[in-house]
Structures are given as structure tokens and as C-alpha cells.
Amino acid sequence: MDLPKSFDIQEIQSFDPPKRRLMGPGPSDIHPRISSALSRHCIGHLDPEFVKIMDEIKTMTQYVFQTTNRLTMVLSAPGSAGMEACFANLVEPGDKVIVCINGVFGGRMKENVERCGGTAILVEDEWGKPVDPNKVEEQLKANPDAKILAFVHAETSTGVRSDAEQLCQLAKQHGCLSIVDTVTSLAGIPVLVDAWGMDAVYSGSQKCLSCTPGLSPVTFSDKAVKKIKNRASKVQSWFLDMNLVMNYWGNGQAKRAYHHTAPINALYAMHEALLMVREEGLDNRWERHQKYHLKLKKGLENLGFRYLVEEEYRLPQLNAVFLPEGYEEAAIRKRLLEDHMLEVGGGLGAFAGKIWRIGLMGHSAREESVDYCLEALRKVMG
Ligand SMILES: *Cc1c(COP(=O)(O)O)cnc(C)c1O
């Protein structure tokens, strides 16, 4: 049969990706154990054996978040969907939400609040600085009717860490729920959901968990679940409605209701990634990120790089640095990629063309990567 249209597709072949080293703001390098898990035999999404590993994924996700929250799961979509899920479920039309902005991702939170029909009250801090708890407290006092405080724990656009514990406690003192972005922080620096009293927390698979991109671990406190269950209006997103998704992830009940077909193989990979965190131990993993950050820092400073963020607020897993004078950043980054198969990140927004973001996330945070990166830099800049 003649197809109605012809397409220029005869030359297309299977894709064999270049073997780059990933030292940007994510995705990070993937351990062979994880890529091997990804290619295992696909089984059905309601197969009893699959349900078993979903339960294990849930338990290990609770461990990584350090929480006993029953509503803990891995969403079948990337970190941005985790963000959207938290806002879509918790923000009802008319709700006032205090949103902290000190980089790109805080700006997206504002966008989410408004699309959910809420009003965003902004607390803005300079890029490269942490969220100022004093300003947050001022806004909480000035807006006693605010329902939620939202902020980014680890701002990937600038490499800055904000004090999640203090901010969540402030939210609690003022009767607000907290929504916290831990996409870059989870499994790289401490994220203690229960001890810090966090309410709705989302992350991503491809940063310090070093899994393939496209999944989002999330967890909701009992208080957050109560608000979701008592909403006056339905959650506007059907796919992300936790009332429905929780019935698939088995929120306490044995029977699972079909909601969507889980990305089976991606979840095999997530299971392996979480298992690797458990085997290493969270505290050892945090220590490892810090150790290689210090090693990289020393080498970078010797080459004339300068950190954007004050030491106290620096993320070990995301090194935001100014290049030494006289170098054209885009040209060097291109040479690293093409001649050395090494990816580092450029700057975003106000820092585009000004800084680099060198990631030491998950499997990328290792001796060999740091040595390789410094050696490549010496060659390209020497
Ligand atoms: C990467 C990132 C996201 C978005 O995650 P995706 O998986 O790219 O959708 C959100 N917030 C922060 C802080 C991030 O670093």
C-alpha cells in the first residue's frame, strides 16, 4: 500500500549516546547497576511481584526522606511534576501562599500557585543568597490568613542551601503548611522530613539519587493529607490528584486500584538506586558528597575559580563558580564536552554566561570524577 505521505526516515538508525561524564546540575552519572536494572524483563503493573517492589520502593523512599508519612511514593513523572503535584493538591482557589524566590525554581513555585487559583505573596532574596527567615517571618505576621509557605531547599540555579528546618518551624508556628523542593538536596545533604516538620515534599530521580530522569519521589504529612481530603473543590489535575494516586500506591489498603500504567522499568531502576542509598547509608552518602566537594573546591580555587555562595550556605553537590578572568566560558564548556566528554552546567538567568554549575551528585560524587574534571580543566585552560 502507498502511504499518503513520504517521510525522510530511511537514514535513521539506533541511537548510541556518547559516553559523557555528567557533572552538571543533573542528570548525574548512572551506576551500571541502575542501567542494568532498567533493562530487566517488563512485567505487569498489577503483577503481585511488581506490587511487592512498589512496597519496597515506598519503604526505601520513606527512609531517604526520613519520614513515616504513609502518603509517600514515587510519581511517574519528573521533579517538575512533583512540584506541580504538591501545589495542585494543597492550594485551593483563593488560598494565600507565601513563596520564597532566590533563584529559578522559586519563580516556578509562584507560577504554580497562580495556576492553581491561589495568591502568591513573594519573599525575594538575591540570587546566590539563602532565603532570609526574618523576611519570611515578617510576611507570615503580615498575612495571618496565609495557608502555605513554599520554598526551595537547595536552589540548583545558584548552589545555595536554605535552612529548611527553621523555615518549616516558622510555617508551623504561624499555622501554615510547608511545601518544600528537595529535588537537588535529597540524598546529597540531610533532608529530615519528620524531624523538621515538613508537610509536602518533592524530589527528583536524576540528581543525588543518580537514577534515570523522569521520576519524582514525594511525601505528604498527615496534616497535608487532611487538607487534601477536605478540599472544597476537586484537584484540577486528574493525573496528579493524590486522592486517586494513593489508591494505586496502596495507602494502607491491600487492594490496588488501577490509576495509570506505572513506568515499570524506570521503577526497577529507582528500586536499585534506593537500594544503593540504603547499602551506603544516608549519613555516609552525605559525608561522601561533602568530601568530594572539598576536594573539587581545592582544585578549582587553585585554577582561579571563585565560589558564588558563602561557605556556610554552599551545596556540596552543586558548585556554582565564577571562572577566572579572561576566559570565554561557553567556548571552554564546549571543549570540555567535545574533547573530554565532560558535561558541566552553565549559569541560568542573571548568571548566564557568568558562572558554571559543577555537579557532584550521587554517583558523580567520586574521586575519579573529581580528578578527571580537574585534569580536563587544566588541559583546556592551560
Ligand atoms: C531539577 C530541578 C527541578 C525539576 O526537576 P525535573 O526532573 O527537571 O522536572 C525542580 N527543582 C529543582 C530545585 C531542581 O533542581
* Ligand 1 lined by 69 (C-beta under 6 Å): no
pLDDT attached to residue 188: 98
User: How many whole angstroms from 337 Cα to the centroid of ligand 1?
Assistant: 22
User: pLDDT per residue over 52-82, tens digit each?
Assistant: 999 999 999 999 999 999 999 999 999 999 9
User: pLDDT per residue over 150-171, tens digit each?
Assistant: 999 999 999 999 999 999 999 9
Q: What is the pTM of this model?
A: 0.97
User: What residues have CB less than 8 Å from 287, skipping those under 6 apart?
Assistant: none
Closest atom of ligand 1 to CA, residue 184: 15
Strands 355-359 and 342-346 come out as antiparallel
The answer on pLDDT for 254 being more than 80 is no
Whether 275 and 59 have beta carbons less than 8 Å apart is answered as no
How many CB atoms are located within 10 Å of the residue 158 CB? 30
* Ligand 1 lined by 133 (C-beta under 6 Å): no
pLDDT attached to residue 246: 85
**Residue 223 pLDDT level (bands cut at 50, 70, 90):** very high
Q: Residue 238 is placed in which grid cell?
A: 486528574
User: How many whole angstroms from 115 Cα to the centroid of ligand 1?
Assistant: 18
Whether 328 and 334 have beta carbons less than 8 Å apart is answered as no
Whether 318 and 156 have beta carbons less than 8 Å apart is answered as yes
| Helix H or strand E segment including 338 | helix 329-340
* Ligand 1 lined by 152 (C-beta under 6 Å): yes
The answer on pLDDT for 258 being more than 90 is no
Least-confidence region, from 3-7, 278-282, 314-318, 352-356: 3-7
Across the range 30-38, mean pLDDT stands at 98
* Ligand 1 lined by 105 (C-beta under 6 Å): yes
The answer on pLDDT for 8 being more than 70 is yes
Average pLDDT of every residue of the chain: 96
User: How many whole angstroms from 224 Cα to the centroid of ligand 1?
Assistant: 22
Q: What percent of the chain has pLDDT over 90?
A: 94
Q: Nearest to residue 287, comparing CAs of 198, 192, 374, 360? A: 360
User: How many whole angstroms from 15 Cα to the centroid of ligand 1?
Assistant: 26
pLDDT attached to residue 350: 85
User: Which residue lies with its CA nearest to atom 6 of ligand 1?
Assistant: 79
How many CB atoms are located within 10 Å of the residue 80 CB? 15
Domains of the chain in start order, with CATH, are 21-28+281-380 (3.90.1150.10), 32-278 (3.40.640.10)
User: How many whole angstroms from 54 Cα to the centroid of ligand 1?
Assistant: 23
Q: What percent of the chain has pLDDT over 70?
A: 99
* Ligand 1 lined by 80 (C-beta under 6 Å): yes
pLDDT attached to residue 77: 98
